[in-house]
Amino acid sequence: MALFAEKVAVITGGTSGIGRATAIAFAKEGAKVVVAGRREKEGEETVALIQKAQGEGIFIKTDVSVSADIKNLIEKTIFTYGHLDFAFNNAGIEQTPGSFPEATEEEYDRIMDINVKGVWLSMQYEIAEMVKQGSGVIVNTASVAGLVGMSAVPIYVASKHAVIGLTRSAALEYAKSGIRVNAVSPGGIQTDMIDRFVGTPESETEFRQQLQSMHPVGRLGTDEEVASAVIYLCSPGASFITGQSITIDGGLTAQ
């Protein structure tokens, strides 16, 4: 029997990268998957990949920074599948590197609205539903940037520190309610976001080579490697893990 047979998972930012890989991983384990994101075409592509993996899923267009969208997401999930077992709050955006004074108020608001407010709003509605049923697991996407300081991207760093703070606080509040809340903190992962940040693998930019060399294993990670960690955190084997940030960084922060 599949690990998550008859279970339901919601994934924000499920239109590409880590979110898409995790949606497929949940489907392979038997879960019904609700894919949320702003890009409808890419969301439907994720659903097609879920179906190709012999899974079941739907796409619900969602902007995580808008409360009404999150409310709609959770309500439609319950209407369609009856319950909510897992939530992977993965939607996030990067910051364009630059000196501290160069960042604008508009950029600050945009990053904080998606990376922090989006996680906070999502957890509000997810937890409310999980409390009713007395169980549930939430995993939030943080970053190694939430564990250390980094120059040139201070707003992004602050947003990911905030995600870990939200994770720990929620985990403590709902530890006795049958709800576990953890985070994953990836290092450099080969995704479209990384390509925008340091250039594509084909470009072999100095910035990309520098990023790769920062990881002791000598390469960037894959979205499937992060997905595997999310699946584990949602599994019965992780039943004593809550309030933690699991680092997936090829040794970067061990230095």
Active-site residues, by number, are: 156
Residues 254 and 233: their CA atoms lie apart, in Å, by 21
The Cα angle at residue 11 between residues 191 and 145, in degrees rounded to 5: 50
DSSP H helices, 103-205, are 105-112, 118-133, 154-173, 192-198
Residues 6+ apart with CB under 8 A from 57: 23, 27, 32, 33, 34, 35, 46, 47, 50, 51
245-248 sheet: strands from edge to edge: 56-61, 32-37, 8-12, 86-89, 136-141, 179-186, 245-248
| Largest pairwise CA distance in the chain | 55
Residue 8, token pair as written in the block:
């339901």
- Identify the residue whose tokens are 């049958």: 178
Tokens representing 238 are: 């992780």
